Amino acid sequence: MLFPKQPLIRPTVFQRLFKIPVKENFVREINNLFSDNETDFTKITQSEIHSLVIKYKIKNIGKYENYFKNFFTNILTSILSDEVLSDQELKSLKHIKDLLNIPENFVTEGIEKSTQEIFKKYANRTISDGIITEEEKLSLEKRRQDLKLSKETSDAILQKEIDENGKEIYRNNVKWSINDGELTSEEKDNLKRIRETLGLTESTADSIYSEEASKIYQRYVDNIVADERISPDEEKQLNELKEKLDLDTINMDYASRKLFDKYKLFWLIENGDVPTISAPINIQKSEKMYFQTNITWHELRKEYMRTTYSGLTYTSGNLFGLKGLKYRNGSITPHRISEDVLKPIDTGMMYLTNKRIIFTGTKGNKTINLSKVLSYEVYSDGIQINKDSGKSPFFQFSNDIDLMAVFLSRALSDI
């Protein structure tokens, strides 16, 4: 029930004695009048409202305007709950406006706003898939008529929804079409229809498609390079994916392309014929040059520290009543404490072949046969070479440490 009956407030003794009306009951009686006529508000007459005005001695009915506006809004909401505005309902709304003297613009704007919001919901739902079928057009037209909207108004609402949501709708359809990693000819034709329906330019649609297809491609790339290796088969899969997604080009930035090529090289080093470089130094005929870079050669060296003594020592003197103890400073017989410290030994060029590590430094040359290498450790600033005997050097350098490690691993495995 939209208007439950409201009991009237009983007047006080003073009000009865002096016949003073309880003005709060004016609003309650209007509520009850509408409650009695909920099936047809047009049955309420102007004279009934006027009688209540006289009964409660209302001199300025305008002070109840906000109440009457809320009253009207509740009725309008109830009437449009079925999302249809019939001729009879429209007649009732206008009758209520006249009965309660509600401003014309408030009523008109209220009806227009509510009916347009309902049509907007249906328009948005209609274009959500990017296609407006003939059946949907007929459905929208019926909805327009049910809500008493002009053709001009409904068309404007539909176009506004397309303008505001067209790009996102097209994007969602692109995502759905290529989620399986392929754009079929049927899906391509469907996207074209959607683009035309939504009024998007080709350049706008192409830009949206390129963004979403590139995301799909990148997901595949991320999965493939998780192990920091790219095999020929994996590269072939990526090229096939690019064709299936109808991507003419994939624009990688310089850093991404360099990393991509590095991971291809890593796979090749580990699984194929190891790439070689020309040797700038004399090497054996059976040797192949893999890698070279400038390094600083470090070795662990013992470093000794002299200790001095400062404290209590035993004497025959007396200090502050402590017989036999005296405080003294200075060096006594020194102790030498040693610790291993990584020390730079030389700088120069380091070469890796399939048999040796060769170093040509400013102070001399060194060679490590790979057969003598037990293991190696990779750090952010270089590589530690662990030998089976003698000092194990640390090569400090900054460029392509990971590449050197992959080459070294392959060289050691081939020995």
331 or 87: which carries more pLDDT confidence? 87
In this predicted model, what pLDDT tens digit does every residue of 159-173 receive, in sequence order? 999 999 999 999 999
Measured CA distances, 219 to 115, 226, 264, 266, 286 (Å): 45, 11, 18, 21, 44
CA 65, 70, 75, 76 dihedral sign is: positive
Q: For residues 384 and 394, what is the distance between their CA atoms, to the nearest angstrom?
A: 4
The proportion of the chain whose per-residue pLDDT surpasses 90, expressed as a percent, equals: 80
Model confidence at 1, pLDDT cuts 50, 70, 90, reads confident
Q: For residues 232 and 313, what is the distance between their CA atoms, to the nearest angstrom?
A: 77
Residue 303 has a pLDDT of: 72
**pLDDT of 325 over the 50 cut:** no
**pLDDT of 333 over the 60 cut:** no
Q: For residues 382 and 283, what is the distance between their CA atoms, to the nearest angstrom?
A: 24
Mean pLDDT computed over 21-33: 93
Model confidence at 288, pLDDT cuts 50, 70, 90, reads very high
φ, ψ at 137 (rounded to 5°): -60, -45
In this predicted model, what pLDDT tens digit does every residue of 118-163 receive, in sequence order? 999 999 999 999 999 999 999 999 999 999 999 999 999 999 999 9
**Six-digit token string for 6:** 């409201």
What number of other Cβ atoms are within 10 A of residue 382's Cβ? 19
Q: For residues 198 and 171, what is the distance between their CA atoms, to the nearest angstrom?
A: 12
Question: Which residue's structure tokens are 């006529």?
Answer: 37
Q: SS3 for 310?
A: strand
- What is the reported pTM? 0.68
Sheet holding 289-306, edge to edge: 365-369, 356-361, 336-353, 289-306, 394-396, 382-387, 373-379
Least Cα distance to 139 among 152, 153, 121, 156 occurs for 121
**Mean pLDDT, the chain, integer:** 90
φ, ψ at 281 (rounded to 5°): -130, 165
According to DSSP H, which parts of 225-281 are helical?
Answer: 232-244, 254-271
Residue 334 has a pLDDT of: 58
**Six-digit token string for 178:** 């290529």
| First-residue to last-residue Cα distance in the chain | 93
